[in-house]
Chains A and B, each alone.
Chain A
Amino acid sequence: MSVLQALDIGLAFLVFAVAAWTIFARGAFAATVGYVVYGLLLALVWIRLFAVDVALTEAAIGSGVTGVLLIGAAARLRAAETASDEKPLSGLTRVFAAALCVLVALALASVVLLLPDQGPSLAPLSMQKLPETGLGNPVTAVLIAYRAFDTMLEKVVLVLAVVGVWSLAADRYWGGAPGEARAASPEPTLAFLAQILAPLGVLVGIHVFWVGADEPGGAFQGGAILAAMWIIVMMARLTEAPQANAFWLRLALVAGPLVFLAAGAAGAIFAGNFFAYPPGFAKPAILFIEAFMVLSIAVTLPMLVAGPPRREPRQ
């Protein structure tokens, strides 16, 4: 057994153990911290699978932003947990559930083991067409060129999620701002962190988006890092969340899918097909679309974390 194999097996055990902790831990807070740890370990696994783009997404969204969302929720729901009136499942149901889950896992595992060593692949096709897009990173090409329609709809899903979260506001808060008001004196330690981190993070976010054309990275990852920076500034109460009825906010939320859709329609006119890019002009078009996607993601994720409006709108 080589060192690499030993490392892989150890990593696999660690991932599984932390995952089991998030399921079986006693308190919800302990479980959510376990989930943050799990997200980071998963990024390591993705590196081992040579999927660096996915590792980057997992690191930024799976561990970072989701961690903020879940830890915040667990801290707020603590009162609900202590006054819990749920009755746990009976022993027999538990056994049945466990048996079902073991069966599902075994079925999936057998599928995994039955996969041929050289599976079917779209890699040659994506590499063959890559020069036409002008990009160097095939994952970005899949996202913005080959499967552009998919990605556009996925941005629409993000907008719908924000609409869903906002619609949970009480009637009188509709259009107001989520979260607490800006503190007169922000928490000093957090403010210090946010003031140093945010400019650096914005730089890194834009860098990740920009190199995404040729290296691992891209609009999702860059946008998520930018979103995280806005979240830390809001957590430090250096700024408050914007009102949900602010025009600029709504424009930024829909800018990504809107520009994407417009580009797709323009493709139908100028390049002969819906979501086709004119030859020789593909890379600028892709970067243009991506820039607006970054903007939308950077605005959408913080709004999802901030939750529904909780204050009355100012006129």
Chain B
Amino acid sequence: MTEFLLATAGVILLTVAVGLVRILSGPGDADRLMAAQLIGTGGIGSLLLIAAATGARGVEDVALGLALLAAFASAAFVNSAAPAEAPDVADGR
């Protein structure tokens, strides 16, 4: 079972790596921001699997911290891209 957990963690990391190659190259900043999202989800998944396999204690808290901070990159981007004096970005709908 341990082997299975580790192997799945590896496969998830691999898919994340392949996704990162595609996403980090752009073309736009939006694509690049998705990289933070991709590694957030995939990284937490493989973190939990590795922890379950190796029996490291207290790893749930690390994953919890990562999950809390998963949206921070996008939030920081939106926050600094749209300064306060700019008109509120309309939805265009």
Contacts and interface: CB of A to CB of B under 8 A. Distances in A.
Tell whether any CB of A sits under 8 Å from a CB of B in the complex.
yes
Interface of A: 2-4, 6-7, 10-11, 14, 17-18, 21, 25, 29-30, 33-34, 36-37, 40-41, 43-44, 47-48, 50, 52, 55-56, 59-60, 63-65, 67-68, 71-72, 75-76, 180-181, 183, 185, 187, 190, 193, 197, 200-201, 204, 207-208, 211, 215-217, 221, 225, 228-229, 231-232, 235-237
Contact of A216 (B17, B33, B40, B61): B61
Contact of A67 (B51, B53, B54, B76): B76
B1 to A, nearest CB: 12
B10 A10 contact: yes
Given A40-B40, A217-B61, A232-B75, A47 B51 contact: yes
B62 A228 contact: no
A235 B84 contact: no
Nearest to A225: B65
Nearest to A17: B17
Interface in B40-93: 40, 43, 46-47, 50-51, 53-54, 56-59, 61-62, 64-66, 68-69, 71-73, 75-85, 88
A176 B77 CA distance: 25
Contact of B50 (A33, A48, A64): A48
B81 to A, nearest CB: 5
B65 A3 contact: no
Interface of B: 3, 6-7, 9-10, 13-14, 16-17, 20, 24, 26, 29, 32-33, 35-36, 39-40, 43, 46-47, 50-51, 53-54, 56-59, 61-62, 64-66, 68-69, 71-73, 75-85, 88
Contacts of B56: 47, 50, 52
Nearest to B89: A187
Contacts of A17: 17
A17 B80 CA distance: 28
Contacts of B72: 64-65, 67-68, 228, 231-232
B83 A30 contact: no
B57 A216 contact: yes
A63 B66 contact: yes
A183 B43 contact: no
A30 B69 contact: no
Given A2-B3, A30-B24, 14 more contacts: A4-B6, A7-B7, A11-B13, A18-B20, A47-B56, A67-B76, A181-B84, A187-B78, A197-B68, A211-B58, A215-B57, A215-B61, A225-B68, A231-B72
A159 to B, nearest CB: 24
A186 B10 CA distance: 41
23 contacts: A7-B7, A7-B10, A14-B17, A29-B29, A33-B24, A33-B33, A33-B35, A41-B39, A47-B56, A47-B59, A48-B50, A52-B56, A63-B69, A64-B66, A67-B36, A72-B79, A181-B84, A187-B78, A197-B68, A204-B61, A221-B61, A228-B68, A236-B75
